[in-house]
């Protein structure tokens, strides 16, 4: 790669840098580069690569027409600072219908959807081809938790875990999440708590705050020899059911054998039904995704039993089910109200009140 500096440069945004690094470390296996037109069309229309392998949404490198015109058979992929991260063997340039992609992947073409807005903000041309890493993106945060797929798999083997459940989150873990993970731990050997720390929308709780919450929860309420905390460096697309499939496939690459799918997985606004992600998993043949989904009902604090439950385990009526939405929690933080213990552990509530209350916006 000595000639990388002389190649046409393609400047990557935060989303694309995440994709590049995920491809490079095998988190997006079987992908070895950015998709070409055949894979793109097949994924948009049918959630499969051109060879039939399950894959839920396009992983493409979109650029503007001027940039595309300068690229021939190779290109240097660079970060915002100009540092070259990889060299790409460009085998194809092509266009795709952004609105069709949006409606297929996000179930809407409204720009109010953050994933759709991110898609529309990118170029109209796509470059396809394998990538060859020159230097990985330099990270300054969560360094001890940035564990690549090969290393998580090695750690699981070292711990003697044969069955591992992965848990995806972009929010602080509250009581409902804790309940799901612990239910899964009754079945498997260990749990990988794997919060997403790539690009998220501006009003999501910052990753630094969320990591403090995860540490507090795992240190105080989970068995240390059966749980592992690491960060998931993907960008958040808010693609609902399709993103749930992606999250599962990626966790398989990290070594998980099972994956928790709860309510409104990777959802945003009112674009997806509560259990649409779970329904989508049922459209794939048993074993096809290489990982087993754990499907959970919406859980709540049951006032009758004094603990967490779902409609499968409690006969409590609506008046005895305590649940708070994210909107309600943000309003409580804005108003200075205490977050109730029925929603999350006191240690987590304290962190949220310290970190989020001063900055949360209306």
Active site residues: 170-171
Whether the bond between 184 and the residue before it is cis, its omega within 30 degrees of 0, is no
Helices 326-335 and 346-355, axial angle in degrees (round to 10): 60
What's the rounded Cα separation, in Å, for the pair 98 and 358?
Answer: 38
Strand 307-309 relative to strand 300-302, pairing = antiparallel
Q: Are 314 and 280 in contact (CB under 8 A)?
A: no
What's the rounded Cα separation, in Å, for the pair 223 and 227?
Answer: 6
Burial of 277 (0-12, 13-18, 19+ CB in 10 A): buried
What's the rounded Cα separation, in Å, for the pair 257 and 98?
Answer: 34
DSSP character at residue 141: S
Count of other CB atoms within 10 angstroms of residue 212? 19
Q: What residues contact 57, with CB distance under 8 A and at least 6 apart? A: 43, 44, 47, 105, 237, 239, 242, 243, 246
| Residues written for the chain | 362
What's the rounded Cα separation, in Å, for the pair 351 and 354?
Answer: 5
What's the rounded Cα separation, in Å, for the pair 254 and 145?
Answer: 13
What's the rounded Cα separation, in Å, for the pair 46 and 166?
Answer: 25
């Amino acid at each position: 790669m000595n000639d990388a500096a002389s190649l046409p440069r393609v400047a990557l945004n935060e989303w694309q840098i995440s994709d590049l690094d995920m491809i490079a470390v095998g988190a997006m296996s079987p992908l070895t580069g950015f998709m070409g037109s055949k894979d793109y069309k097949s994924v948009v229309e049918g959630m499969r690569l051109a060879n039939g392998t399950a894959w839920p949404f396009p992983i493409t490198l979109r650029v503007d027409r001027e940039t595309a015109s300068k690229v021939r058979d190779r290109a240097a992929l660079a970060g915002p600072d100009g540092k070259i991260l990889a060299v790409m063997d460009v085998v194809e340039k092509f266009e795709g219908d952004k609105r069709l992609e949006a409606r297929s992947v996000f179930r809407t073409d409204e720009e109010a959807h953050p994933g759709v807005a991110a898609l529309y903000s990118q170029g109209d041309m796509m470059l396809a081809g394998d990538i060859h890493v020159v230097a990985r993106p330099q990270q300054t945060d969560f360094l001890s938790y940035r564990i690549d797929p090969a290393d998580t798999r090695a750690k699981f083997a070292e711990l003697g875990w044969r069955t591992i459940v992965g848990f995806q989150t972009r929010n602080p873990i509250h009581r409902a999440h804790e309940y799901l993970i612990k239910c899964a731990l009754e079945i498997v050997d260990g749990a990988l708590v794997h919060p997403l720390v790539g690009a998220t929308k501006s009003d999501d709780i910052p990753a630094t705050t969320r990591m403090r919450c995860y540490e507090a929860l795992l240190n105080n309420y989970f068995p240390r020899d059966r749980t592992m905390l690491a960060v998931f460096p993907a960008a958040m697309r808010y693609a609902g059911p399709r993103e749930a499939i992606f999250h599962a496939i990626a966790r398989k690459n990290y070594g998980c054998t099972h994956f928790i799918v709860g309510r409104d997985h990777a959802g945003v606004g009112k674009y997806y039904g509560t259990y649409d992600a779970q329904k989508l998993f049922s459209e794939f043949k048993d074993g096809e995704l290489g990982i087993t989904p754990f499907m959970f009902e919406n859980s709540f604090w049951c006032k009758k039993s004094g603990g967490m439950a779902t409609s499968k385990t409690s006969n409590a009526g609506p008046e005895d089910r305590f649940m708070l939405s994210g909107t309600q929690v943000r309003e409580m933080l804005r108003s200075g109200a205490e977050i109730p213990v029925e929603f999350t552990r006191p240690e987590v509530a304290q962190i949220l009140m310290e970190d989020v209350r001063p900055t949360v916006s209306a």
